[in-house]
Amino acid sequence: MSSFIVLLTIAVFAVTVMFVFMKWFRNYRKGKITRGVFMRNFFLETFGILFATTLAGLLGRYIAEVVTAQITDDIARLIASILIGFLAGICVVFSVKRTWGRLLKA
């Protein structure tokens, strides 16, 4: 089961990198940005996605463990962990997007 999750995560990341590449490549082909700006923005955005995903996963897991330590019911603990992880992920994504957006001005 864990190998399936790893493969699924890699596939989703590969598709995301493809979409990021196409977004910046389109701007490069239209002449809106130079090759250097294209490369910089592509690598910065790819690194930002990887950073945000990792940080959201780690932070969400840590917060969920702390908050659900007192819950004894397995179903309630699972639901609470999913909701807390989701909220932590949203917070991380918005903060990274706001910070990274300043670097990726085209």
Give the residues of the chain that fall short of pLDDT 70. Answer: 1, 103-106
Q: What is the pTM of this model?
A: 0.73
Q: Residue 87 contacts by C-beta under 8 Å, 6 or more apart in sequence?
A: 60
The pLDDT assigned to 38 comes to: 92
Output the CA angle 95-96-100, nearest 5 degrees: 125
The pLDDT assigned to 69 comes to: 86
The pLDDT assigned to 104 comes to: 65
Residue 33, phi then psi, degrees to nearest 5: -135, 155
Q: Token pair 């990021």 is at which residue?
A: 20
For residues 4, 6, 7, 12, the Cα torsion angle rounded to the nearest 10 degrees is 120
The pLDDT assigned to 105 comes to: 63
The pLDDT assigned to 56 comes to: 87
The pLDDT assigned to 85 comes to: 87
